[in-house]
Every structure is written in C-alpha cells, then in structure tokens.
Copies of this chain bind each other. A is one copy, B any other.
Amino acid sequence: MKKSDKITWSGCPVRYAAGVFGDKWCFVLLRDILLHGKRYYGEFAASEEGISTNILADRLSRLEGDDMLTRHVDPNKRSKVFYLPTRKARALLPAFLGMMVWSTEFDEKTAAPASFAKAFREDPKAAIDWYEAEIDRVNAGLEHSS
C-alpha cells in the first residue's frame, strides 16, 4: 500500500494540494519541470539535491498517477524516458511563483535575484506568461513523441 493510497482526505483544497505535492521531493521535481526545463529521468536523477533513484521512481509514478505528468519513451533513443507536465501541473505555476516570492523575501540566503520578486509583484500575469512560454519552448522539441 502506497502512502498516497492512505490519503483519502477529500474536500479541503489545502489537503488536496498537500496530498499531491506536499512533499519535499515532489516540490523539487515540479520545480525542475516547471522552472528549470528538465524533462528526462536522467536530469531529475542528476539534480543537485541528490534524490535516490527509488524515491525518484516512486514520486514520478505518483505524480503521473495524480495526472501531473505524462511519461514518454524518447522515440529517438528508446532507452531514454521523459516526462511532460500536464495542464494541471502547469496551472500550479502561479502558486509556485508566489512561494518563490515568499522565499526571496524571508530566506536571507536566497539565490533568487530581488528583481524576480519585484517583477512578479508588479505584473504577476506577465511573469507567469513568461514561464509558460518557457515550458512551451522546452516541450516543443518533445511533444510529437509517443
């Protein structure tokens, strides 16, 4: 029985969000996909945080099961696999960027430039659109695939 099977919580939006990505590694994976343009299993495995492969595989399949990612075998090199964010995952961008703004304000060691928070606060929609376009750009080379 997987952890997610036990979470039968339903109704409360915060519980729902916690069930889907209220977990250190899901957080990091979604960041890599939504903000860092990563798509391949190997790219996730190589992340700075050093996720171990058993956890990585578990979280990827959980996110797939939650309709956040779709799994694809690379048609050009069928031993490689990539994951694309669904519309549902992409819709998290505003909340994710909101968290980033929060971190840049309260983490004294933040690596994010102040200009990011400023830009987001002045025109959130423009900032979101910029990241959306990035996601499209990264996906473009992949989404003709099975």
Q: B107 touching A98 by the CB < 8 A rule?
A: no
Interface of A is mostly: helix
CB distance from A19 to the nearest CB of B (A): 8
Known contacts: A22-B22, A88-B106, A111-B12. The answer to whether A99 contacts B17 by CB under 8 A is yes
Q: B31 touching A27 by the CB < 8 A rule?
A: no
Tally A residues with Cβ within 8 Å of B: 41
A17: chain B residues at CB < 8 Å are 27, 99-100, 102-103
Return the chain B residue nearest A12 by Cβ.
B111
Q: Could you tell me which residues of chain A, from 22 to 46, have a CB within 8 Å of some CB in chain B?
A: 22-24, 27-28, 31, 35
CB distance from A146 to the nearest CB of B (A): 25
